Amino acid sequence: MAEQAKGQVAMVTGAAQGVGFHIASRLFAAGYRVLLTDINEAGVKEAALSLDPTGERAKSCVLDVAQESDFSAALDQALTFWGELHVLVNNAAMTKAVSTMELKPDDFKQLVSINLGGTFTGCQVIGRYLAEQGYGRIINMASLAGQNGGTSTGAHYAASKGGIITLTKVFAKELAASGVTVNAVAPGPIDSPMVKELVPAERLPGLLSAIPVGKLGNADFIGDVVEQLARPEAYFTTGTTWDVNGGLFMR
């Protein structure tokens, strides 16, 4: 970790559990002050305290990514706590496996609004602040499902994650001249509660046999990839999608 990045402030959405918590943990371990946000107030408070019982370098905030005002409030919280913000990780997402031909239009709209709409709002609200400061890093959590059409997650999830990859390019172009980079990370199946919920135990051997490396991904490594993209030295990387999928999708 470069010395100049230590002490920077990062905000992570959907950080109460799962991959979001692992991302927040790795950023915290790398020296960042981290604002963990989530719609689950009790869960995100517990998550922040588990990282830092003193509350000096890890704090929590309730944030519903469907609400623009919540992003503004979370930004205000970060500025109140530490006086600055440098990094946003748009991780929060809704996942509900539904077969494509059974998917209801309203369910499609709801999930895309949360996953894709929440990422858009985060990039816009926090990106505007970062651009005003002349520096920032935004990392959006996409997915293998947005690249290969998905398998267990349904059309709504795959479409939302594919849209995130495109939004990443849009905001990368918009904010580059202001010193703000915007990148995405696209994990394949990760050893996480979400994957275990979507893939029953009896189907897991079949999933593993389809992955070239034969294993589920490691959530801490996803956090390490995010931390690399958050570094000041990552200024020359923007508009990209970093694949972490065990060989399931190769460019």
* 248 falls within a domain: no
* 147 falls within a domain: yes
* 133 falls within a domain: yes
* 246 falls within a domain: no
* Cβ neighbours for 85, distance < 8 A, ≥ 6 positions apart: 9, 10, 11, 35, 75, 78, 79, 126, 129, 130, 136
| End-to-end Cα, the chain, rounded Å | 29
* 247 falls within a domain: no
Q: What is the CATH number of the domain that holds 217?
A: 3.40.50.720
Total count of domains within the chain: 1
Q: Do 12 and 37 contact (CB within 8 A), yes or no?
A: yes
* 140 falls within a domain: yes
Q: Kindly report the pTM of this predicted structure.
A: 0.94
Write down the pLDDT at residue 113: 96
User: HSE (CB half, 13 Å, CA atoms) of 207?
Assistant: 21
Residue 216 structural domain? 3-241
- Give SS3 for 12: strand
Angstrom distance (rounded) from CA 103 to CA 148: 19
Q: Do 249 and 162 contact (CB within 8 A), yes or no?
A: no
Active-site positions read 157
Write down the pLDDT at residue 41: 98
Q: Do 30 and 43 contact (CB within 8 A), yes or no?
A: no
* 250 falls within a domain: no
* 66 falls within a domain: yes
- Give SS3 for 231: coil
Provide the residue-wise pLDDT of the chain in tens; the chain has 251 residues: 344 677 999 999 999 999 999 999 999 999 999 999 999 999 999 999 999 999 999 999 999 999 999 999 999 999 999 999 999 999 999 988 888 899 999 999 999 999 999 999 999 999 999 999 999 999 999 999 999 997 678 899 999 999 999 999 999 999 999 999 999 999 999 887 777 777 777 877 888 889 999 999 999 999 999 999 999 999 999 999 999 999 999 98
Write down the pLDDT at residue 2: 45
Write down the pLDDT at residue 83: 98
Q: Do 160 and 115 contact (CB within 8 A), yes or no?
A: yes
Write down the pLDDT at residue 1: 38
- 29-47 burial: b if 16+ Cβ within 10 Å, else e: ebebbbbbbbbbeebbbeb
Write down the pLDDT at residue 151: 67
Residue closest to 248 by CA, chosen among 166, 143, 158, 100: 143
